[in-house]
Amino acid sequence: MTLYASTGHLLLTPVDREAPARTPRLRELDLGERADPELDAFAQHVAETLQTPYAGVNFMGEERQFFAGLHHGPDAPRRGYPARSLPRDHGYCPHVVVRRRALALEDVRDYARFAGNAVVDGSGVRSYLGAPLTDRRGFVLGTVCAVDLVPRRWGLDGLATVKGLAAELIELVHTREDGRGAPRPIDPQGC
Q: Report the CATH number that the domain containing residue 78 is assigned in CATH.
A: 3.30.450.40
Nearest to 86 by CA among 118, 64, 101: 64
| Tally of structural domains, the chain | 1
What pLDDT, on the 0 to 100 scale, is given for residue 80? 56
Range of the domain at 168: 19-179
Residue 144, in any domain of the structure: yes
Nearest to 26 by CA among 189, 130, 173, 179: 173
Going residue by residue through the chain, which has 191 residues, state the pLDDT in tens, using 9 for 90 and above.
333 333 333 446 788 999 999 999 999 999 988 999 999 999 999 999 999 999 999 999 988 899 999 998 877 766 655 678 888 877 889 999 999 999 999 998 888 777 666 666 666 788 999 999 999 999 999 999 999 989 999 999 999 999 999 999 999 999 999 987 644 444 444 44
What pLDDT, on the 0 to 100 scale, is given for residue 81? 59
Residue 187, in any domain of the structure: no
What is the DSSP secondary-structure string of 91-154?
SSHHHHHHHTS-EEES-GGG-HHHHT-HHHHHH---EEEEEEEE-TTS-EEEEEEEEESS----
- Write down the pTM of the prediction: 0.84
What pLDDT, on the 0 to 100 scale, is given for residue 87? 80
Residue 163, in any domain of the structure: yes
Nearest to 76 by CA among 125, 17, 30, 40: 125
Residue 184, in any domain of the structure: no
What pLDDT, on the 0 to 100 scale, is given for residue 5? 35
**How many CB atoms are located within 10 Å of the residue 162 CB?**
27
Q: Is 59 helix (H, G, I), strand (E, B) or coil?
A: strand
Residue 191, in any domain of the structure: no
**How many CB atoms are located within 10 Å of the residue 25 CB?**
17
What pLDDT, on the 0 to 100 scale, is given for residue 112? 77
Residue 82, in any domain of the structure: yes
What pLDDT, on the 0 to 100 scale, is given for residue 135? 96
Tell me the torsion sign for CA atoms 42, 44, 49, 50: positive
Contacts of 37 (CB under 8 A, 6+ apart): none
Contacts of 30 (CB under 8 A, 6+ apart): 180
